[in-house]
Structure 1
């Protein structure tokens, strides 16, 4: 039995004020191609379908097209809500969709729904567990002291009746202790959302969402498939993929991946303005990738981002790494209070040196002098 495992689509997301919808549409088409090639027995989407509880209309339309194309295939689809989703909105019409083979986890009501899959001699139960906080669980188990995420999930799993003779697959969207996070994920202060992997030890495969880097979590049978796109520069070195889980029998799971190549990669570049704008250095590179550029020039470049975008149109972030940024000094003010022995230009040069850990250049001094003279003339 073969399962395609996806999560964290975050449809409608904006990264550094750039809409990712075009990139998301592109990558969903690549995923549909993989599904057609792999011919799985089921497709799992482990939460965070959308980036916001109330997603933009374009994101809903994109998911509608994607889901319709998935449902047109022969494999059923299994979906849960993540911490970014509204479980009520995502599960709207879930009972009507079952006849189309689309199984969406309903709002948690104290029980966890499952769907039975049979392929040849392999039988599996797919349990759909939406993202839960302790408050979601307490109302259904008032006699149990639930003071943490881990206790909440222990309670939920402890009240699920697993069938020992079949392969039990859990679809969940939680943070397993020890998993490597990225900047684009929501982080609970102090790791309050941590759950030990032993909570899910009785399942043959745990298809996890929430963490954006593909990785195992607590065991070979527990896996984060990761997001299909990079959503922060902390993910620049990640290789995104689709997880393919093949169940050969009770306790026998083989994991493989299919790489996802994005429309625009997310990369970091570093160098001086002259180096980065030298055609010999950027020729035959993907200049339209999403970029974080770090300039090493000691002097700031006037309208650097505007000039750089003539070469690299999709710069998301620009900063400097030089003497000034490496050794920031607190500035109390140039000169002693009441001093009158320095010209306005002299005070400004002193302030500049305090802020930038270097003297003004000749061209800067000349520009400053002209500026002061123009201001002085206008003030007369």
Structure 2
């Protein structure tokens, strides 16, 4: 059986006030092309289907279109809810939808939903476990000693019957201890949401969602597929891929990664304003990519964002790296304030804030401004 492992679609996501819905439509079309070219037989979507528990109408339309396109290909599709999703919304109409071969996870009720599919080697058991919290598990199993995410997961796995002589695949959406996070993910203080990889040792393959960087934990077959798109500049250097899982006879699994090329990539640009606005600098850059620009000019560039967007229209983020921004000076109450002139006080404040003294031009401007405001005559 040839699976495509996806996760963390985050349909409807906005990044730095930019809607990514068109980028998501574009990448879903790329995924459909891969499905056709690679003759995928089943698709696994491991949670965070939407970016919000109450998705926009546009996001719902995009998911509806994607699932319809999958169903028309006579694929089996298995979708679980993640921590960004509403379990009730993902599970709405699950029984009816399943008639088209698309299986949507229902709200967690204690039992891990299981489906059987067949190929030339026999049956494969597909276990669908939506994102769970300790309180959810405790609500169902009141007698259980549950005080953490890990103990909740361990208890649920103990209640789940798995025939280890058969081929078993688990779809889950949790943070497995030892994995690497990205800036675009929600962080729990002290790692309280971590679960042990040992909870999954009875499964031949574990299709994980939740973390945005593609990676495996301990075993090659306990794996995060990562997001199909980059959702923060911490992912700018990632290569996003579609993860293909070939499951043959028991114990025979192979993996293949197919690059996903986005409509707009994420790039980081750093340098002085005049430098990065020159044609020689940007001649080899796709200027339509989403950009994080860091200016190294010592003086702020007036209307920098507006000017930079004449060359790089999709700038998402602008900041400075210079003497001022690298300063760690602490501004405290001044000494002998009553004996100092206003301009002298402002010069001290400026130097503390910017880690450099005012220029002569700045001092002359400030001196004139003070006199104009206070109507001081020469």
Please report the TM-score for the alignment, with normalisation by the length of structure 2. Answer: 0.95
Instruction: Tell me, in whole angstroms, the C-alpha distance in 1 between the residues paired with 2:264 and 2:362.
Output: 38
1:202, distance to aligned residue in structure 2 (A): 0.3
Q: Which stretch shifts more, 35-44 or 75-84? A: 35-44
1:123, distance to aligned residue in structure 2 (A): 2.1
1:152, distance to aligned residue in structure 2 (A): 1.0
Q: Which stretch shifts more, 20-29 or 355-364? A: 355-364
Q: Which stretch shifts more, 74-83 or 138-147? A: 138-147
Alignment of 1:71-220 (within 5 A): 71-220=71-220
Alignment of 1:284-295 (within 5 A): 284-295=284-295
Q: Which stretch shifts more, 130-139 or 207-216? A: 130-139
Task: Give the corresponding residue for 2:351.
Answer: 353
Secondary structure of the equivalent of 1:338?
A: helix
Task: Give the corresponding residue for 1:22.
Answer: 22
Q: Could you tell me whether the CA contact under 8 Å between 1:8 and 1:47 is conserved in 2? A: yes
CA displacement 1:13-64 (0-9 Å, x = unmatched): 1111211111111111111111111121210000000011001111001101
Task: Give the corresponding residue for 1:238.
Answer: 238
Instruction: Tell me, in whole angstroms, the C-alpha distance in 1 between the residues paired with 2:362 and 2:25.
Output: 48
Instruction: Tell me, in whole angstroms, the C-alpha distance in 1 between the residues paired with 2:335 and 2:220.
Output: 65
Q: Structure 1 residues 350 and 144, CA, compared in 2 at 3 Å: closer, same or farther?
A: closer
Task: Give the corresponding residue for 1:267.
Answer: 267
CA displacement 1:109-148 (0-9 Å, x = unmatched): 1111111111112421111111101111112222221111
Task: Give the corresponding residue for 1:70.
Answer: 70
Instruction: Tell me, in whole angstroms, the C-alpha distance in 2 between the residues paired with 1:291 and 1:338.
Output: 48
Count residues with an aligned counterpart: 377
1:336, distance to aligned residue in structure 2 (A): 2.2
1:327, distance to aligned residue in structure 2 (A): 2.0
Q: Could you tell me whether the CA contact under 8 Å between 1:176 and 1:218 is conserved in 2? A: no
Instruction: Tell me, in whole angstroms, the C-alpha distance in 2 between the residues paired with 1:321 and 1:251.
Output: 52
Secondary structure of the equivalent of 1:127?
A: strand
Q: Indicate the RMSD between aligned Cα atoms, in angstroms.
A: 1.7
2:264 is the alignment partner of 1:276: no
Q: Could you tell me whether the CA contact under 8 Å between 1:333 and 1:351 is conserved in 2? A: no
Flag as ranges the 4+ runs of structure 1 deviating above 6 A: none
1:362, distance to aligned residue in structure 2 (A): 3.6
Q: Structure 1 residues 333 and 311, CA, compared in 2 at 3 Å: closer, same or farther?
A: farther
1:294, distance to aligned residue in structure 2 (A): 1.3
In structure 2, stretches of 5+ residues that fail to align are none
CA displacement 1:61-93 (0-9 Å, x = unmatched): 110111110110021100000000000011101
Secondary structure of the equivalent of 1:221?
A: strand
Q: Which stretch shifts more, 365-374 or 196-205? A: 365-374
1:345, distance to aligned residue in structure 2 (A): 3.5
Please report the TM-score for the alignment, with normalisation by the length of structure 1. Answer: 0.95
Instruction: Tell me, in whole angstroms, the C-alpha distance in 2 between the residues paired with 1:63 and 1:77.
Output: 13
CA displacement 1:199-240 (0-9 Å, x = unmatched): 000000000000100011121111100001111111111111
Secondary structure of the equivalent of 1:349?
A: helix
Task: Give the corresponding residue for 2:7.
Answer: 7
1:299, distance to aligned residue in structure 2 (A): 1.4
Q: Which stretch shifts more, 259-268 or 206-215? A: 259-268
Task: Give the corresponding residue for 2:58.
Answer: 58
Q: Could you tell me whether the CA contact under 8 Å between 1:122 and 1:248 is conserved in 2? A: no
Instruction: Tell me, in whole angstroms, the C-alpha distance in 2 between the residues paired with 1:192 and 1:346.
Output: 51
In structure 1, stretches of 5+ residues that fail to align are none
Secondary structure of the equivalent of 1:64?
A: helix
Q: Structure 1 residues 332 and 164, CA, compared in 2 at 3 Å: closer, same or farther?
A: closer
1:374, distance to aligned residue in structure 2 (A): 4.3
Instruction: Tell me, in whole angstroms, the C-alpha distance in 2 between the residues paired with 1:24 and 1:230.
Output: 11
